Copies of this chain bind each other. A is one copy, B any other.
Amino acid sequence: MTNFQQSSKLKPNKKEIARLKNQALILKAAETIFANQGYEGASMNSIAVAAGVPKANVLYYFKSKDNLYETVLETILAEWNLGLTDISRDDDPAQALTSYIARKVRLACEQPMKSRLIANEMLRGAPFLSSHIREFTRPWFRGKVAVIEHWIESGKIQPINPEHLIFMIWASSQYYADYQTEILILQNKLEYEEQDIIEITQSLKQLVFAALGLSA
């Protein structure tokens, strides 16, 4: 090949740089606005303004509102389980759960918009996400349930309903993102601090560990 600039990865010229920068700018703005206003509440114009580009430019990169929304959702889902160390049957329950809970709580507190966007989608009946849940979340979920059942059978933890254990860990962590407004008012705070994240993690861990008969 005489031309080594064919593929996009090998052609980082001004146009490509501008395109990637604009796409990222729009996606970031869209994530925030979709998370705070919901799908219907977010207007393409407000997203364009937040991104600092004309509305027509948003629709140039993303063919429709649906397309933009789906792209934002996919981006979030890709990061959603990133950094969540996977849990397998040979792991030590105390260690695995400690790590999982800590990361879940931190993710919810530090990047609440991701959880909120998914919450908005769920409240609408998950029109865009239900197929993803069926295809990816369900197998993952079944796997983790099996791991917990194995831990119970081998006497590593006390008997408990594995499905509801998982749901309650999800619930307790995501609540701090989705209901942040209420929690901050009740605690008379303006925002979460590092100490809050530590306390939330500790409290949730205490609940789970006590029920499973694990020691901290």
Contacts and interface: CB of A to CB of B under 8 A. Distances in A.
Contacts of A4: none
A168 B179 CA distance: 12
Given A178-B178, A181-B126, A207-B211, A120 B38 contact: yes
Interface in A164-201: 164-165, 167-168, 170-172, 174-176, 178-183, 185-188, 199-200
Contacts of A99: none
A181 to B, nearest CB: 4
A62 to B, nearest CB: 20
A187 B172 contact: no
Point out which of A123, A133, A163, A185 has the most chain B C-beta atoms below 10 A from its C-beta: A123
A160 interface: yes
A165 B203 contact: yes
Given A40-B38, A168-B172, A178 B211 contact: no
A37 interface: yes
Interface stretch (A15-23, A49-57, A89-97, A134-142): A134-142
A134 B175 CA distance: 19
A166 B94 CA distance: 24
Interface string A29-42: 00000011111110
Which of A163, A176, A207: most chain B Cβ within 10 A?
Answer: A207
Given A207-B208, A211-B206, A164 B120 contact: no
Given A36-B125, A119-B123, A211-B211, 17 more contacts: A35-B123, A36-B123, A37-B124, A39-B41, A41-B41, A122-B180, A122-B181, A129-B182, A163-B187, A164-B203, A164-B204, A167-B175, A168-B203, A168-B207, A171-B172, A174-B175, A210-B210
Interface of A: 35-41, 116, 119-120, 122-126, 129-130, 133-134, 137-138, 141, 160-161, 163-165, 167-168, 170-172, 174-176, 178-183, 185-188, 199-200, 202-204, 206-208, 210-211, 213
